[in-house]
Amino acid sequence: MADEENINGNGDGEEIPEEKSQKEKKAAKYDSGAADLEKVTDYAEEKEISSQDVANAITAIGDRRNKEALEKQAREKELLKVSIRKEDVDLIVNEMEISRTKAERFLREYHGNVVNALVALTN
Q: What is the pLDDT of residue 27?
A: 58
pLDDT along the chain (123 residues), means of 10: 48 58 61 61 62 90 95 90 90 91 91 91 89
What's residue 30's pLDDT?
57
What pLDDT is stored for residue 98 in this prediction?
A: 92
pTM given for the model:
0.47
H helix intervals, 1-123: 2-8, 17-41, 51-81, 86-96, 100-109, 114-122
Distance, CA of 120 to CA of 123 (rounded, Å): 5
